[in-house]
Amino acid sequence: MAKNNNNGANLGFEQKLWQSADKLRNNMDAAEYKHVVLGLIFLKYISDSFLEMHERLKVDKYADPEDKDEYLAVNVFWVPTEARWNYIQDHAKQPNIGKIIDEAMDAIEKDNPNLKGVLPKDYAREALDKKSLGGIIDLIGTIGLGDKESKSKDILGRVYEYFLGQFANAEGKKEDNSIHQEA
């Protein structure tokens, strides 16, 4: 069953992605988990965009792929080495992955003032299971989000839209259950 929107048919992976992410949620409330997942999706998106630009700059003999201004000039967020998706994914199984992500978000905000105070930075909290966090990182790592092809298909928009709808459903089910329990 293909879902049409103004960007074309459903890509088909959204439901599988949601089911996997939802399994990793464990007992965490959907309203809280939403920020964990959507923050990581955004991080993957800007890292993909950065990496694509980085590759273009590496082949341009007049450009410096490590010059922040090269990225800002074309409206691509600068992503420091320790905040790039490959670094995050390489450390996904470490017990301190939450701290690594929080530091990555801080570094991105520091180098991109228009993101100051916007990114979630509570991945190191004790309530967030680090094994599940590593699993969601690996899962999100399978999706191309910020490269030119993905942007042309609005994959980021589709994943955000689908996940927001699923989180709203999950939050609604919790409210329904608490209403039925009170009755």
Question: Contact 83/105 with Cβ under 8 angstroms?
Answer: yes
Q: Out of 24-38, 39-53, 56-70, which region has the weakest mean confidence (pLDDT)?
A: 24-38
The per-residue pLDDT for range 124-142, each reduced to its tens digit, is: 998 888 888 898 898 888 8
Q: Is pLDDT at 68 greater than 70 in this prediction?
A: yes
Q: Is pLDDT at 110 greater than 90 in this prediction?
A: yes
Contacts of 38 (CB under 8 A, 6+ apart): 160, 163, 164
Residue among 51, 37, 121, 116 at smallest CA distance from 80: 51
Question: Contact 37/128 with Cβ under 8 angstroms?
Answer: no
Q: Is pLDDT at 20 greater than 80 in this prediction?
A: no
User: Architecture of domain 14-177 in CATH?
Assistant: Up-down Bundle (1.20)
Share of residues in the chain with pLDDT > 70 (%): 82
- Break the chain into its structural domains and give their ranges: 14-177
Q: What is the pLDDT of residue 181?
A: 46
Q: Amino acid identity of 84?
A: R
Q: Please state, in angstroms and rounded to a whole number, the distance separating the CA atoms of residues 131 and 143.
A: 20
Q: What is the pLDDT of residue 9?
A: 42
Mean pLDDT of 53-80: 94
Q: Is pLDDT at 180 greater than 70 in this prediction?
A: no
Tokens of 97: 């992955």
